Amino acid sequence: MAAISSNVKLSGTFLLVVVLVGMMVLASTPTATAAVSCNTVNSKLMPCLGYVTGSGKGAPSSTCCSGMKTLYASLKAVNDRRAACRCIKTLTSRYANIINLNVIKTLPNKCGLKLPYTISPSINCDKLP
């Protein structure tokens, strides 16, 4: 039972991380045509998992912020930003009871990223520029 609870908690945190990356993708300017995969989004955001399932007090790890910034910088095409957003939105909705949505909303700013939208499970990814 503890293993299931632990796996669900990790999945929820991972979802939160994916949502954050999706938001970063939305703020990028389009230049490429291939959509980013959820595996790519997840791998860049995984270091943020512990932070987004917690209280959000203190600063996120440098590894978390580095992953977010790297992912954000790589999401230049509209298709990439929208794909990353969908990955994050799906995870955030599925694990909303585990992740701290208020922490996710503040994570980009705490990592020095200024996004023109708020990370949320209700964001319309198809309207991202």
Domain ranges of the chain: 2-127
What's the pLDDT score for residue 91? 76
The ranges of the chain with pLDDT < 70 are: 1-34
What's the pLDDT score for residue 112? 94
What's the pLDDT score for residue 92? 78
Contacts for 67 with CB less than 8 Å, ≥ 6 apart:
43, 44, 45, 46, 47, 48
CATH of 2-127, one of 1.20.1050.10, 1.10.1840.10, 1.10.240.10, 1.10.110.10: 1.10.110.10
Residue 49: Cβ within 10 Å count: 22
This prediction has a pTM of 0.69
What's the pLDDT score for residue 47? 92
Measure the N-to-C terminal CA separation of the chain; round to a whole number of Å: 43
